[in-house]
Amino acid sequence: MPGLSSPQNQAGIMNFYDAQTPGPKINPKMVLIAVAVFVLIVLVINHMIYYP
């Protein structure tokens, strides 16, 4: 059937995502921590501006 995909058809896609690329490797925990810190900083600055 032409609409079905088999593992052979998807092997190239998986190979693309598994390929090593140059650049920094970032730990997902560090990204979440950085986002949380950024949100807290924005909230503190917002509170300081609108509620002096």
Residue pLDDT tens, the chain, 52 long? 455 555 555 555 556 666 677 888 889 999 999 999 999 999 999 999 998 7
Query: Where are the chain's structural domains?
Result: 24-52
pLDDT of residue 32: 97
pLDDT of residue 8: 55
pLDDT of residue 33: 98
The model scores a pTM over 0.85: no
- Tell me the CB-side half-sphere exposure of residue 50, using CA atoms within 13 A: 6
Helix (H) or strand (E) holding 3: none
Residue 16 gets which letter from DSSP?
H
pLDDT of residue 19: 63
